[in-house]
C-alpha cells in the first residue's frame, strides 16, 4: 500500500510542477529559470542532511544489532 501511495504522490507532484511551469511560462520564461536556480541550494543542503541522517541511523542500527547479538550470547 505504501508503494501505491508513493506513486500517487509522485504523479500528483509531477502534475503540479507541470501546471506551475505552464502558468509561469505565460508570465516570463526568465521567472522559471530564477525559480529553478533558487531551488538548487535547498536541494544540495537537503541531500547533505539526508546523507548525514542515513549515516547516523546506519551506525545506530549497527550498534543495536551488535548489542542484541551480545545479549543473546550471554
Domain spans in the chain, listed from the N-terminal domain onward = 2-73
Strand, helix or coil for residue 11: helix
pLDDT in tens, 11-48: 999 999 999 889 888 888 888 888 889 989 999 999 99
Distance between CA atoms of residues 60 and 63, nearest Å = 5
Over 90: is that where the pLDDT of 69 sits?
no
**Are residues 35 and 24 in contact, defined by beta-carbon separation less than 8 angstroms?**
yes
> How confident is the model at residue 25, as a pLDDT?
86
Model confidence band, residue 57 (pLDDT cutoffs 50, 70, 90) = confident
- d(CA 19, CA 26) in angstroms, rounded, equals 11
Element (H, E) at 74: none
Q: Please state, in angstroms and rounded to a whole number, the distance separating the CA atoms of residues 34 and 65.
A: 47
Amino acid at each position: 500500500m505504501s508503494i501505491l501511495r508513493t506513486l500517487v504522490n509522485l504523479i500528483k507532484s509531477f502534475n503540479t510542477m507541470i501546471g506551475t511551469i505552464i502558468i509561469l511560462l505565460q508570465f516570463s520564461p526568465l521567472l522559471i529559470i530564477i525559480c529553478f536556480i533558487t531551488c538548487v541550494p535547498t536541494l544540495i543542503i537537503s541531500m547533505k542532511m539526508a546523507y548525514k541522517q542515513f549515516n547516523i541511523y546506519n551506525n545506530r542500527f549497527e550498534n543495536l544489532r551488535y548489542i542484541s547479538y551480545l545479549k543473546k550470547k550471554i
